[in-house]
């Protein structure tokens, strides 16, 4: 099968790799360029564990054709913390125990980052909507929603706590 | 059988490539096609992509709006001219699906999907295949959809909806805020245009989006109040054969259709 070259930016670094026809972006990231932060959950677009950002928008890497990212900017959790520190979203997730097994966390963080980059002061409903394509088996979502609101500095952060 | 992916810069080259192979699939945003690839679907062996910007255009065309088949749900939501369709685009999957899912791909989505197509059916859309200036009505398109697999939809034309209140849409799900539709209902209540101005369509009440013709007839000349819509509710599922699937039985769909139709027509927004 023919291999195709693809060049793209991953978390600000230029990457070049060869992809197979029909290969998805999750495989390219994990196997092709060694970024293991996006997770494989379903391969069907339904769990959100593989969520990354492409040119600032959230995308499901398992159902994204790898070659379509040529020349584009891909962001994963691997690039979220900077200069040794954690991103405010990661800090808030830690403070609120928003990760238990942690499998959904990379996808949740990227879905949340896509929201906050566009809308720095979201309402609770907007946060719920932003993570509505991401499944968490452990937390019951409240801690995640509160973390996103807290990272955004929103006053709604405490509203849903029982 | 490995799949082969071809990318064309020009639409006519992509159309030619699709026409040459019965086992080719045109690539929209890939949210369904890539699922199929991941599953090892053997029903196609070629994917034809096209980067021609014509597929991404949204433009006014007299009293109509022409939407390129490659326009995504997110773009429908963000464009001022298609703002009245935002409530439909917004309920297609989650945000990461909507960044990729196209309006052209939605036309081919099998159950339980296809809410945008339900809306386009209610709006009486015209589907334009590449290389075919005329276009076909969405009713005809859906009737022959399976046999048109190797053609490429270039754009979809819908009327400009002057008063947004004339277009109503609801997606009924068991899971909030997101889930696959148990049914969807779209209504275009363009009563000022006289006879034929009312179109109502259901999603997930048949193998593909269907018109509720008996409801349309019952609403002709009727007022949109409890009394005026009573007959339409009586015939809410006339002529339909709702499916039984994991979301609901055919019986349940029949039972709840008038309830959701009533809320939609009275604009009570509780559906
Ligand atoms: C997690 C998840 C949730 C979803 N939720 C919903 C939902 O709530 N509602 C809903 O309606 N859908 C839903 N979908 C299905 C899908 O995302 C949408 O129906 C979408 O609009 C399909 O468009 P696409 O561009 O991704 O199609 P693709 O996967 O690119 O293509 C789908 C089919 O359409 C054909 N096609 C695409 N474009 C053209 C064209 N221009 N001309 C001819 N043929 C074409 C392809 O060949 C293929 O057969 C969901 C999908 C996922 C993965
Ligand atoms: S692995 Fe991509 S959505 Fe589940
Ligand atoms: S923390 Fe386990 S799936 Fe979310």
CB distance A89 to A116 below 8 Å:
yes
What is residue A149's three-state secondary structure?
helix
Q: Of A79, A101, A122, which closes a domain?
A: A79
Across the range B164-175, mean pLDDT stands at 93
Confidence at residue B178, expressed as pLDDT on a 0 to 100 scale:
80
Number of domains comprising chain A: 2
Q: Is A84 exposed, middle or buried (0-12, 13-18, 19+ CB in 10 A)?
A: exposed
Mean predicted lDDT score pLDDT of chain A: 93
Q: Are both A24 and A66 inside the same structural domain?
A: yes
User: If you measure CA to CA, which chain A residue comes closest to B74?
Assistant: A57
CA A131, A134, A140, A144 torsion-angle sign:
negative
User: Do residue B139 and residue B225 come from a single domain?
Assistant: no
The minimum-distance atom of ligand 1 relative to the CA of B35 is 53
Closest CA to B121 of B235, B237, B242, B208: B208
Query: Above 90 in pLDDT, residue A155?
Result: no
Give the span between the Cα atoms of B63 and B66, in whole angstroms. Answer: 10
What is the predicted pLDDT for the residue at A159?
A: 44
Last residue of a domain, one of A79, A112, A142: A79
- Site from B39, B50, B94 to mutate, A interface, most A CB atoms within 10 angstroms: B94
Q: Residue A156 pLDDT more than 70?
A: no
pLDDT at residue number A160: 43
B270 lies in some domain: no
DSSP characters over B204-230: SSSSS-EE-HHHHHHHTT--SSHHHHH
Token readout for A99 is 């990760």
Starting from the CA of residue A143, give the closest ligand.
3
Pair (B133, B219) in one structural domain: no
Residues B136, B195 share a domain: no
CB-based contact, A118 to chain B, within 8 Å: no
Per-residue pLDDT tens over the stretch B102-152: 999 999 999 999 999 999 999 999 999 999 888 999 999 999 998 877 899
Q: Residue B229 is part of which domain span?
A: 164-265
Cα separation, B130 vs B152, in Å, equals 6
pTM flag (> 0.90): yes
Dig out the tokens for B128 from the structure: 């334009």
| Complex prediction ipTM | 0.94
pLDDT of residue B195: 66
- In chain A, which residues have their Cβ closer than 8 Å to the Cβ of B27? 65
User: Residue B190 above 90 pLDDT?
Assistant: no
User: Could you give the maximum distance between any two Cα atoms of chain B, in Å?
Assistant: 59
In three-state secondary structure terms, B20 is coil
Say what the pLDDT of residue B270 is: 45
CB nearest to A64's CB, from B2, B30, B95: B30
Which range has the worst mean pLDDT, A57-66, B28-37, B70-79, B145-154? B145-154
Among the partner residues A22, A58, A60, nearest to B5 by beta-carbon distance: A22
Ligand 3 neighbourhood includes A93 CB (under 6 angstroms): no
Q: Distance between CA B128 and CA B107 in Å, rounded?
A: 12
> Mean pLDDT over residues B227-231, rounded?
97
**pLDDT band, very low/low/confident/very high, at B268 (cuts 50, 70, 90):** low
Residue A14 lies in a domain: yes
Q: How far apart are CA B74 and CA A118, in angstroms?
A: 13
Does B269 score more than 60 pLDDT? no
Closest A-chain CA to B91: A129
């Amino acid at each position: 099968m023919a291999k195709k070259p693809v060049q793209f930016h991953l978390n600000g670094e230029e990457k070049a790799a060869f992809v197979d026809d029909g290969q998805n972006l999750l495989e390219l990231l994990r196997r092709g360029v060694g970024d293991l932060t996006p997770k494989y959950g379903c391969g069907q677009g339904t769990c959100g564990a593989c969520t990354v950002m492409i040119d600032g928008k959230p995308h499901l890497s398992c159902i994204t054709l790898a070659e379509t990212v040529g020349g584009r900017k891909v962001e994963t959790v691997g690039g979220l913390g900077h200069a040794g520190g954690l991103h405010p979203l990661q800090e808030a997730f830690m403070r609120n125990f928003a990760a238990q097994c942690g499998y959904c966390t990379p996808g949740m963080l990227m879905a949340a980052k896509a929201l906050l980059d566009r809308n720095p002061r979201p309402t609770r409903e907007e946060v719920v909507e932003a993570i509505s394509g991401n499944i968490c088996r452990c937390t019951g979502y409240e801690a995640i929603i509160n973390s996103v609101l807290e990272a955004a500095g929103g006053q709604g952060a405490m509203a849903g706590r029982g | 059988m490995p799949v082969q992916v071809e990318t064309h810069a020009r639409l006519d080259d992509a159309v030619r490539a699709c026409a040459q192979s019965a086992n080719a699939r045109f690539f929209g945003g890939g949210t369904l096609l890539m699922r199929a690839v991941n599953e090892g679907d053997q029903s196609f062996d070629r994917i034809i992509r096209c980067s021609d910007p014509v597929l991404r255009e949204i433009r006014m065309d007299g009293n109509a709006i022409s939407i390129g088949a490659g326009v995504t749900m997110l773009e429908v939501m963000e464009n001022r001219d298609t703002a009245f369709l935002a409530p439909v685009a917004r309920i297609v999957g989650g945000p990461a699906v909507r960044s990729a899912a196209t309006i052209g791909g939605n036309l081919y989505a099998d159950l339980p999907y296809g809410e945008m197509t339900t809306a386009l059916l209610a709006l009486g859309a015209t589907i334009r295949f590449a290389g075919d200036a005329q276009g076909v009505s969405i009713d005809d398109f859906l009737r022959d959809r399976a046999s048109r697999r190797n053609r490429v939809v270039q754009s979809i034309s819908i009327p400009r909806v002057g008063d947004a209140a004339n277009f109503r849409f609801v997606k009924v799900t068991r899971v909030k805020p997101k889930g696959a539709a148990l049914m969807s209902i779209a209504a275009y209540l363009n009563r000022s245009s006289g006879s034929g101005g009312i179109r109502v369509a259901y999603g997930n009440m048949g193998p593909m989006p269907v018109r509720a013709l008996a409801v349309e007839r019952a609403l002709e000349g009727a007022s949109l109040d409890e009394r005026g819509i009573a007959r339409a509710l009586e015939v809410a599922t006339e002529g339909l054969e709702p499916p039984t699937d994991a979301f609901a039985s055919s019986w349940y769909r029949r039972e709840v259709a008038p309830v959701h139709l009533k809320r939609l027509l009275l604009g009570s927004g509780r559906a």
